[in-house]
């Protein structure tokens, strides 16, 4: 892919047709490197898709199921997110992730595809700092996101 074009520049169909979720590939390598056991848990938007006629009828809580259940010292949920330029989280995801976090602790694996840096962030840290983050709105749908 051209370095000047990011997934955010593509349509939903272009982002999710005949592609793999690269953030998930790197997350799985990270789990294996750190000897964590994991299992895929959430929806796979690239493979085994749910038809959009069903997808948009599902509650947002179900659509935003975390990507993994991971066993390290204890069992947690983990969401895998890749990004370029700025690390961000949609406000709608933040709201739903707070509910998932009540069930099991939630962590987010972030992969910066510009620098190849990766990190695991405890969602509780995002909750505790949400008021300190800058925010903006996506130009295509005017939905709010936080810049972490």
Tens digits of residue pLDDT in 87-104: 999 999 999 999 999 999
Q: What is the share, in percent, of the chain residues with pLDDT greater than 90?
A: 71
What is the pLDDT, as a whole number, of residue 18?
44
Confidence grade of residue 108 (pLDDT, cut at 50, 70, 90): very high
Tens digits of residue pLDDT in 62-88: 889 999 999 999 999 999 999 999 999
Cβ proximity of 67 and 43 under 8 Å: no
pLDDT over 50 at 132, yes or no: yes
pLDDT over 60 at 14, yes or no: no
Q: Regarding predicted confidence, which is higher, 5 or 61?
A: 61
pTM assigned to the model: 0.82
CA distance 136 to 148: 11
Query: Under 8 Å CB-to-CB from 84, ≥6 apart: which residues?
Result: 6, 112, 113, 114
| 68 secondary structure, DSSP code | E
| SS3 per residue for 80-125 | EEEECCCCEEEHHHHHHHHHHHHHCCEEEEEEECCCCCEEEEEHHH
CA distance 93 to 63: 10
What is the pLDDT, as a whole number, of residue 19?
46
């Amino acid at each position: 892919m051209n370095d000047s074009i990011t997934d955010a520049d593509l349509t939903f169909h272009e982002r999710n047709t005949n592609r793999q979720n690269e953030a998930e590939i790197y997350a799985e390598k990270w789990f294996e490197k750190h000897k964590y056991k994991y299992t895929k848990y959430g929806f796979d938007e690239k493979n085994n898709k749910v038809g959009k006629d069903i997808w948009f009828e599902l509650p947002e809580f179900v659509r935003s199921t975390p990507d993994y259940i991971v066993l390290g010292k204890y069992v947690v949920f983990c969401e895998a997110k890749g990004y370029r330029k700025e690390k961000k989280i949609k406000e709608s995801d933040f709201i739903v992730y707070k509910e998932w976090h009540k069930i099991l602790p939630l962590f987010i694996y972030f992969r910066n595809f510009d620098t190849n840096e990766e990190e695991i962030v405890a969602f509780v840290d995002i909750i505790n700092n949400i008021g300190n983050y800058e925010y903006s709105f996506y130009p295509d749908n005017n939905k709010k996101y936080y810049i972490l």
